Amino acid sequence: MEQYTDDERVEDLKKWWQENGVSIIVGIALGVAAIFGWRYWVSHRDAQANQASLAYDAFIEAVEKPDTDQARQRGQGLLADFPNSAYAALATLRLAKLAVDNGDQATAIQQLQWVIDHAKLAELQDIARLRLARVFFAAGQLTEAEKLLAHVNTASLTAEREELRGDLALAGNDPAKARTAYAQALAAGGASPLLRIKLDNLAVPTADTVIAAPVPPLAEPATVTVPPPVPDAPSEAPAETLSAPEAPAETPPVTASETPAAEASETPAKVPEAAPDDAAPTAPAEPVPVSPAPPASGPPS
């Protein structure tokens, strides 16, 4: 059995190196380059993400001031510098909201469509579809809104999607479909009080839920009290006259020393009392003549 000598082994090793040495060197160089390239790419990606994050923070600060012009400028700058980052999609969603608040629906539609076409995360795309469907619903484009909702598949957006689908059905005069959509939204975890009100308004009336209106009591016939007739009062009460006393034929002279024994007194006639209302008027009493008092006699001579 032949044995290899050391010289033969060296010759075989040289021959193998001549055949494979170049490829080995190239492979090692490529491996080292790949390692350094990966590290550079990761470092560059982290730096870009950090810069995009800072730019997004400045954009949010301008939005919350609120400074619409500055927010719009910073958002457009973020889109131009970092179009492939997730911050670009987030900034575009906020720019679309600003456009809707300012009544610029055309700009909002373009920005939301950009998110749908360029966002890397499927959840951000579904958020943009849901918001774009709301814009179409507000504009009265119900068919376009329904088509967008058919592509929203994120589980966390199920309640919002079904609630909007119920609104679309209600706007299309389909209360049964709207009721089903609202019920599904509520079952998916929709906690909006307005959602419960919408569903209650579409509830089918039953004998247990319908409350009969109370019957108003019959009105009692009104009684009219007629006052008793008032007797006619006499137009003019007869005046009672007193007859003046006749003057004496001769009045004896009275001296200064004479003092009258009594002063003449007159008793007035009594006035008849008024008759009560329910009694018939009586004839007035005849006046009673009053006789004058006799003159006092003088002292004896």
Q: What is the mean predicted confidence (pLDDT) over 219-247? A: 53
Contact 196, 186 (CB under 8 A): yes
What pLDDT is stored for residue 216 in this prediction? 64
Model confidence pLDDT, tens digit, residues 158-176: 999 999 999 999 999 999 9
pLDDT band, very low/low/confident/very high, at 89 (cuts 50, 70, 90)? very high
CA-based radius of gyration for the chain: 61
Contacts of 218-225 with C-beta under 8 Å, sequence gap 24+, read none
State whether the Cα torsion 70-76-79-82 is positive or negative: negative
For residues 108, 113, 114, 116, the Cα torsion angle rounded to the nearest 10 degrees is 130
Model confidence pLDDT, tens digit, residues 22-61: 888 888 888 888 898 888 888 888 888 888 889 999 999 8
Q: Extract the tokens encoding 140.
A: 């009265």
Which range, of 44-58, 67-81, 210-224, 232-246, averages the lowest pLDDT? 232-246
Q: What is the mean predicted confidence (pLDDT) over 235-259? A: 46
Mean pLDDT is highest, among 5-14, 87-96, 253-262, for: 87-96
Q: Which residues of 263-294 are buried (b: 16+ CB within 10 A; e: fewer)?
A: eeeeeebeeeeeeeeeeeeeeeeeeeeeeeee
What pTM does this model have?
0.58
Q: What is the mean predicted confidence (pLDDT) over 71-75? A: 89
Statement: residue 243 has pLDDT above 70: no
What pLDDT is stored for residue 112 in this prediction? 95
Residue 213 CB partners (closer than 8 Å, separation 6+): none
CATH of 6-114, one of 1.10.357, 1.25.40, 2.60.40, 2.30.30: 1.25.40
pLDDT band, very low/low/confident/very high, at 231 (cuts 50, 70, 90)? low
| Higher pLDDT among residues 138 and 232, named by residue | 138
Rounded CA-CA distance 299/49 in Å is 152
Statement: residue 298 has pLDDT above 70: no
What pLDDT is stored for residue 301 in this prediction? 37
State whether the Cα torsion 38-40-41-45 is positive or negative: positive
Q: Extract the tokens encoding 178.
A: 């709207």
Rounded CA-CA distance 106/136 in Å is 10
Domain ranges across the chain = 6-114
| Higher pLDDT among residues 223 and 208, named by residue | 223
Average pLDDT over all residues of the chain: 76
